[in-house]
């Protein structure tokens, strides 16, 4: 199918909250303004200042499988150090196609339906910029990963949201339907979800497909945590009836293989949609990490036992950190997937997670990110007492963090 740009209309909405610099940065970037310091930089600085364990940023502190690392070293030694083809090396595109078929029964054409990107973030940006502009709307669920808001702001489109609702944090389907309009051009889905760690129900995914079809919108699905679910299967939305022809599926090597610094991601979908994304990507980075691509291809072909063991190890880390948060008196929202656990501070009388996150590195020796920074103002009110902690760290680091958190109540 062919999606055509819509007529320009109203401008994007502003995000006026002064503390919410992450989402506000989307508008400032588009307008050439001064971004200042994001909450992520601020919390990292406070962690360094107070010698705190930084559980704010979502990257592992251990390397990925040695066979993948060795393959990258060999590629560098063998001279694979110049530009890769713009859409990615054939060996990796073929491996991605085989991966999609092996795990999900999808059969993308490695030549026309797949591109390799500089991390999932570039693929997301390229997709939004390819299909949305002034007068359009891009719909995300809220809370939303911060780069979504920034790229939507750069596109000139209006950022609309559908709330994820406590206590299970699934979408309210009526509110989701009301969030769509004739101007909705793209709906961005993050499944498993960052920061909440939910896995979307089949009912919710089917509703997204129904509404995207009704309003002729492209579904951009960010599935970087696809292999990191705990006791629940990952269901790609592209596998649902009616979804494939309008869905761009995005993932990366960073989370599955603990190689976030390599920035190797990919996007797959119908050839006509992928071609438009490829055009945008060619003016961003053109190509990505030549010596890493063959190594990632090797990783995608590892036995099933590797993928199940990665998820099981991460589940144990989730449980370890969750015990420390519970000992601190916090209410834990147990994630079904991903790198993060969120905790409600209202259980210990704290209702402003942003202010508390600024105190926590000194108070407890642990740093976290407040969930309201992943929201527009209304969403920030709904999540105002939530903190996000990353558990993708070594067991000894998490044990120490849990110990420090256990002592928190005595310091309030």
pLDDT at site 37: 67
CA distance 87 to 279: 10
Q: What is the three-class DSSP state of 288?
A: coil
Alpha helices in 215-302 (DSSP H): 253-256, 271-281, 290-300
Whether pLDDT at 27 is above 50: no
- The DSSP H or E segment spanning 16 is none
**Alpha carbons 120 and 255: distance in angstroms, whole number:** 10
Token code pair at residue 275: 């071609």
The Cα–Cα gap between 401 and 138 comes to 38
pLDDT band with cut points at 50, 70 and 90 for residue 411: confident
Q: Which tokens hold the place of 212?
A: 């995207």
Phi, psi (deg, nearest 5) at residue 281? -60, -35
What number does CATH give the domain 21-62+305-411? Answer: 3.90.1150.10
Crossing angle between the packed helical segments 90-104 and 290-300, to the nearest 10 degrees: 30
Per-residue pLDDT tens digits for 90-110: 999 999 999 999 999 999 999
133 touches 8 (CB < 8 A): yes
Contact between residue 249 and residue 223 where contact means Cβ atoms under 8 Å apart: yes
Which stretches does DSSP call E strand in 318-385?
331-333, 340-344, 366-367, 369-370
Model confidence pLDDT, tens digit, residues 131-146: 999 999 999 999 999 9
d(CA 369, CA 379) in angstroms, rounded, equals 16
In this prediction, residues 204-212 reach a mean pLDDT of 98
Q: What are the Cα distances from residue 336, in Å, to 168, 190, 226, 272, 328?
A: 11, 13, 11, 34, 22
First to last CA, the chain: 58
* Helices assigned H by DSSP within 105-138: 119-131
β-bridge mates for residue 370, sequence order? 387
Q: How far, in Å, CA of 24 to CA of 41, rounded?
A: 15
Q: Does pLDDT of 24 surpass 80?
A: no
User: What phi and psi values does residue 215 have, to the nearest 5 degrees?
Assistant: -100, 10
Pick the closest to residue 258 from 217, 225, 285 (CA basis).
225
Q: What is the pLDDT of residues 56-86, one digit of tens each?
A: 989 999 999 999 999 999 999 999 999 999 9
> Any idea where the domains of the chain sit in the sequence?
21-62+305-411, 66-302
Nearest of 205, 185, 216, 194 to residue 121 by alpha carbon: 194
CATH architecture of the domain 66-302 equals 3-Layer(aba) Sandwich (3.40)
pLDDT level of residue 13 (50, 70, 90 thresholds): very low
Beta strands in 226-287 (DSSP E): 247-252, 264-268
Across 131-246, where does the E strand assignment appear? Answer: 137-142, 158-165, 170-171, 184-190, 218-222
Going by pLDDT thresholds of 50, 70 and 90, the confidence category of residue 36 is low
What value does the mean pLDDT of the chain take? Answer: 92
Nearest to 295 by CA among 80, 62, 58: 80
Given this model, what pLDDT does residue 169 score? 97
């Amino acid at each position: 199918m062919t999606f055509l740009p819509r007529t320009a209309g109203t401008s994007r909405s502003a995000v006026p909250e002064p503390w919410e610099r992450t989402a506000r940065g989307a508008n400032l970037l588009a307008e050439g303004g001064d971004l200042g310091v994001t909450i992520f930089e601020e919390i990292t600085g406070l962690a360094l200042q107070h010698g705190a364990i930084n559980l704010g940023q979502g990257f592992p502190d251990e390397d990925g499988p040695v066979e993948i690392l060795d393959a990258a070293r060999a590629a560098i030694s063998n001279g694979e150090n110049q530009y890769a083809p713009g859409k990615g090396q054939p060996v990796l595109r073929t491996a991605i196609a085989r991966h999609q078929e092996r795990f999900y029964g999808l059969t993308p054409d490695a030549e026309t339906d797949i591109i390799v990107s500089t991390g999932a973030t570039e693929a997301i940006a390229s997709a939004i910029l390819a299909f949305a502009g002034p007068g359009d709307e891009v719909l995300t669920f809220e809370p939303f990963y911060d780069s979504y808001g920034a790229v939507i702001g750069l596109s000139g489109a209006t950022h609309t949201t559908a709330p994820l609702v406590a206590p299970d944090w699934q979408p309210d389907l009526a509110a989701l339907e009301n969030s769509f309009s004739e101007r909705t051009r793209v709906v961005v889905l993050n499944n498993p979800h960052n920061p909440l760690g939910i896995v979307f129900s089949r009912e919710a995914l089917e509703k997204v497909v129904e509404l995207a079809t009704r309003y002729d919108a492209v579904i951009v699905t960010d599935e970087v945590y696809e292999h990191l679910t705990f006791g629940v299967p990952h269901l790609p939305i592209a596998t649902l009836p009616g979804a494939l022809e309008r869905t761009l599926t995005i993932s990366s090597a960073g989370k599955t293989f603990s190689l976030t610094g390599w920035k190797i991601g990919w996007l797959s979908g119908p050839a006509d949609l992928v071609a438009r994304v490829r055009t945008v990507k060619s003016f961003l980075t053109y190509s990505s990490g030549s010596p890493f691509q063959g190594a990632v291809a090797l990783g995608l072909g590892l036995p099933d036992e590797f993928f199940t063991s990665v998820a099981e190890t991460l589940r144990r880390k989730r449980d370890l950190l969750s015990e420390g948060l519970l000992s601190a008196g916090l209410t834990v929202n147990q994630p079904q997937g991903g790198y993060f656990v969120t905790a409600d501070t209202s259980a210990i009388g704290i209702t402003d997670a942003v202010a508390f996150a600024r105190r926590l590195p000194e108070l407890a020796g642990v740093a976290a990110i407040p969930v309201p920074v992943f929201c527009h103002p209304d969403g920030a009110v709904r999540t105002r007492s939530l903190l996000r902690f990353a558990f993708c760290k070594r067991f000894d680091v998490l044990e120490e963090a849990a110990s420090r958190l256990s002592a928190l109540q005595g310091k309030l």
